[in-house]
Amino acid sequence: MKNNTLHNLNLVPFVSVDDMMKIVLEIGVENVLTGIAEYLDADFRRWESFDKTPRVASHSEAGVIELMPTSDGDVYGFKYVNGHPDNMKTGRQTVTAFGVLSEVETGYPVLLTEMTILTALRTAATSAMVAKYLAPKGARSMALIGNGAQSEFQALAFKSILGITDLRLYDIDPASTKKFMHNMADQGFAITACTTEQQAVEGADIITTATADKQYATILTDNMIGAGVHINAIGGDCPGKTELHRDILLRSDIFVEYTPQTRIEGEIQQMDADHPVTELWQVMTGQAPGRTDDRQITLFDGVGFAIEDFSALRYLRDQLERTGHFEDLDMIADPDDPRDLYGMVMRAKANQQE
Ligand SMILES: NC(=O)c1ccc[n+]([C@@H]2O[C@H](COP(=O)([O-])OP(=O)(O)OC[C@H]3O[C@@H](n4cnc5c(N)ncnc54)[C@H](O)[C@@H]3O)[C@@H](O)[C@H]2O)c1
């Protein structure tokens, strides 16, 4: 345990990538996923108490950089996240992130953390939590199309939260599938590596698409989708970046996080602006139906919303005392007299010269 304190408002706990890995390993990946899912569930149920806005996105040829803020009135949180599908070619991640939690009363930050790993965990926990409400009862098998950075987290979340035991993998790059099979070899899954998307979806109760391409892609076509499946589509999350053929959307009941953002970024950007969708919090609070029959196709058009990051940040903050894996960051200027910021800087100069 490092030397640190959680109770000095001028020192901000900072969770580095190294700390995050230690926390995840100490608590266990599946325990973290189920823990975050509980925080997500609680926050989705009090959806109406949050500030909500579509994320602020800065697009370029290469990708996107986004800010994702929200507040429940007591705590404020935001995430900085990018999406650059070509990064992999130069040995970089497609998605990286960091985030902050602050106390609304003072505006002082109370947590600064890496969120690349935390985003993969929260995205997977969200997908599995949503599937609990929408997937066919007794679902055991899942097709996983796109076997990159998110994929193992998705698989483990669906195992621990839903009881998925059988995985059918497909990726255009066989090296991704190979990496997945190596990482998940001793996790108790029955894994089938497939050579086409069509083969991967055969017999699957749930279909997860987690591919990365900065263009309209058609990972799934209508003829591949049988009655009764739940589709967890998380890779289409930017204007001009989708994964599903429009005809699938016409046959599905579509569930979203926050409609104004999903209309811009999700699969439904292909549809008319008034195409019917249901927000998940309404299903979770009993205000709207989720799955109503065995033959219904349910689609989670997941783009990732700020409240999910807020839940993940809250979860992480609650693990700090117990694990001690963080360091104190000297991030808030703290002059003896709050008005004398300049004097503090000049005294530092005098101290340097001594
Ligand atoms: N909805 C959310 O909350 C959320 C959160 C994080 C990431 N994402 C998105 O999920 C996607 C996956 O993220 P990642 O970090 O795993 O990316 P990644 O680059 O690590 O992996 C993507 C994988 O998809 C494969 N792929 C690309 N095109 C394909 C195709 N046509 N068919 C099959 N496989 C294909 C690639 O070979 C790669 O292995 C990205 O689009 C990312 O933006 C969404």
pLDDT for the residue 283: 98
The structure tokens listed for 33 are 């996923």
Distance 164 CA to ligand 1 centre (A): 21
Gap between the Cα atoms of 73 and 75, Å rounded? 6
pTM: 0.96
Q: Whose CA is nearest to atom 8 of ligand 1?
A: 235
195 CA → ligand 1 middle, Å: 17
3 state SS of 285 = coil
The answer, yes or no, to whether any atom of ligand 1 lies below 6 A from the CB of 176, is yes
Closest Cα partner for 219 from 228, 227, 231, 229? 231
Nearest alpha carbon to residue 248 among 265, 271, 264: 271
- How far is the centre of ligand 1, averaged over its atoms, from the C-alpha of 70 (Å)? 25
Q: Which residues pair with 328 in a beta bridge?
A: 13
**φ, ψ of residue 290 in degrees (nearest 5):** -100, -115
The amino acid at residue 242 is: T
Instruction: Report d(CA 119, CA 303) in Å as an integer.
Output: 12
Distance CA 113, CA 99 (A): 5
Asked if 19 is an active-site residue, the reply is no
Domain annotation for the chain: domains and CATH numbers: 11-117+307-332 (3.30.1780.10), 131-304 (3.40.50.720)
- The closest-lying atom of ligand 1 relative to the alpha carbon of residue 302 is 1
Structure tokens belonging to residue 296: 């219904």
Helix, strand or coil, per DSSP, at residue 264 = helix
Give residue 292's Cα distance to chain centre. Answer: 27
pLDDT at 9: 76
Is ligand 1 within 6 A of the CB of residue 33? no
CA distances from 127 to 97, 106, 237, 296 (A): 19, 34, 14, 18
Rounded to the nearest angstrom, the distance between the alpha carbon of 119 and the centre of ligand 1 is 13
CA dist 343 and 92 (Å) reads 43
The residue to mutate among 130, 214, 234, having the most atoms of ligand 1 within 8 angstroms of its beta carbon, is 234
Ligand 1 center to 46 CA (angstroms): 30
> What is the full per-residue pLDDT of the chain (354 aa) written as tens digits?
454 567 677 899 999 999 999 999 999 999 999 999 999 999 999 999 999 999 999 999 999 999 999 999 999 999 999 999 899 899 999 999 999 999 999 999 999 999 999 999 999 999 999 999 999 999 999 999 999 999 999 999 999 999 999 999 999 999 999 999 999 999 999 999 999 999 999 999 999 999 988 678 899 999 999 999 999 999 988 899 899 999 999 999 999 999 999 999 999 999 999 999 999 999 999 999 999 999 999 999 999 999 999 999 999 999 999 999 999 999 999 999 999 999 999 999 888 887
Q: Which residue is catalytic, options 237, 253, 274, 330?
A: 237
Q: Is 277 in the pocket of ligand 1 (CB under 6 A)?
A: no
Q: Strand pairing of 75-83 and 97-103?
A: antiparallel
Evaluate: CB of 235 within 6 angstroms of ligand 1. yes
The whole-angstrom distance between residue 5's C-alpha and the CA centroid of its chain comes to 29
Residues with Cβ within 8 Å of residue 121, at least 6 apart in sequence: 24, 29, 32, 33, 36, 153, 312
User: Positive or negative CA dihedral for 253, 94, 120, 208?
Assistant: positive
Residue 211 Cβ contacting ligand 1 at under 6 Å: yes
Given CA atoms 97, 119, 11, 19 in this order, what sign does their dihedral have? Answer: negative
Q: CA nearest 128: which of 117, 118, 139?
A: 139
